[in-house]
Amino acid sequence: MRRLINISFLILTFPIFTFGQPKNYKDELGRKQGVHEGYSGSFLFERTYKNDTLTDDAINYYQSGSVKSKGNRHNGTWTEFYENGNVKSKQSFKNGNLSGQSFLFSIKGDTLLPRQINPKLVVNDISITNNTDLKVYLLFDPYDSLNRPIDFGPYLFDYIPVCKNDYLTIHIGTINFLIKPTGLWVYEQMDTICNQKIKVNGFTTNRKVKELKNGDYDISYELEKKYFNSRLGKIEVERKQMQCDDTGKNPVTISRNGRKLVFKDIGNLLFFEFDSDNDGKNELYLLNYFSCEGRLEIYKIDDK
């Protein structure tokens, strides 16, 4: 099951320049009023000075001469462009820090982030078997991102906050997932908040390492089953031998009225109940993530 969702995530990197001797300077420190041009060996650039001080207004160019980026990364807006002239990203800065949402665009001009993803009913997925009356919805799958999955960096290795704000939100670094009854919104924002933390159940690797007196290490695995009750049925998590250094193997079975819903391919696991549509009945949410692959899937399970 690898359907295309027209969403991509672009890693924003700030160019690091090794500036050579600028064209317009009388000497290396002759930074006077106005706009000065220079060449770094890779990119043309312009920097604006006021009262002999860099104002952070800047323009960077592709070698073709088209604008690569321009703006103010101290207090203002910073815009990056594709070489064809279309906007690649827009960001706001305050006192040198990112502020508010970032806006990302495709080379054709489509908005990539923020973006809504409609839930997709899971059928014919060999990694999931379902003999119950429960419905499984895929809310997010990075492999459906035009073959360019979101890079979560180090944040899939850490604690993932789940919060109740105006809506249910999941924060992974600067990437935020906001879950509404109509679907999931994904956006990038640095200064997000968590009004109320949601209690979650999580399982990652189950390796135990014990250092021996001779300096060797004894490595063992806690192979066990854990059980939880939920509105939708009894949940069983089977902890198996880990798949890679940072990812466990924790398949999930939900038993309901003598039948079973089984998620076979679960690495690191996080699950919780929440009533996102305010109908008085909790849905079950399941995050399946592989830290060693940078992969995340978000599922919603419900009986309606």
Residues of the chain with pLDDT under 50: 1-29, 31-33, 146-148
Is the CB of residue 20 less than 8 Å from the CB of residue 41?
Answer: yes
- Write down the pLDDT at residue 28: 43
Q: Look-up: residue for tokens 């592709």?
A: 62
221 bridge partner residues: 207
pLDDT digits 0-9 by tens, 94-142: 888 888 888 888 888 888 788 888 899 999 899 999 999 999 999 998 7
Q: What secondary structure letter does DSSP report for 142?
A: G
With CA atoms as reference, report the closest residue to 85 among 108, 112, 56, 103. Answer: 108
Q: What percent of the chain has pLDDT over 70?
A: 79
With CA atoms as reference, report the closest residue to 203 among 296, 300, 288. Answer: 288
Q: How far is CA 240 from CA 101, 130, 192, 203, 264, in A?
A: 39, 21, 35, 11, 11
With CA atoms as reference, report the closest residue to 298 among 178, 217, 126, 187. Answer: 178
pLDDT digits 0-9 by tens, 133-144: 999 999 998 765
Is the CB of residue 42 less than 8 Å from the CB of residue 32?
Answer: no
- Write down the pLDDT at residue 26: 35
- Write down the pLDDT at residue 75: 86
- Write down the pLDDT at residue 227: 98
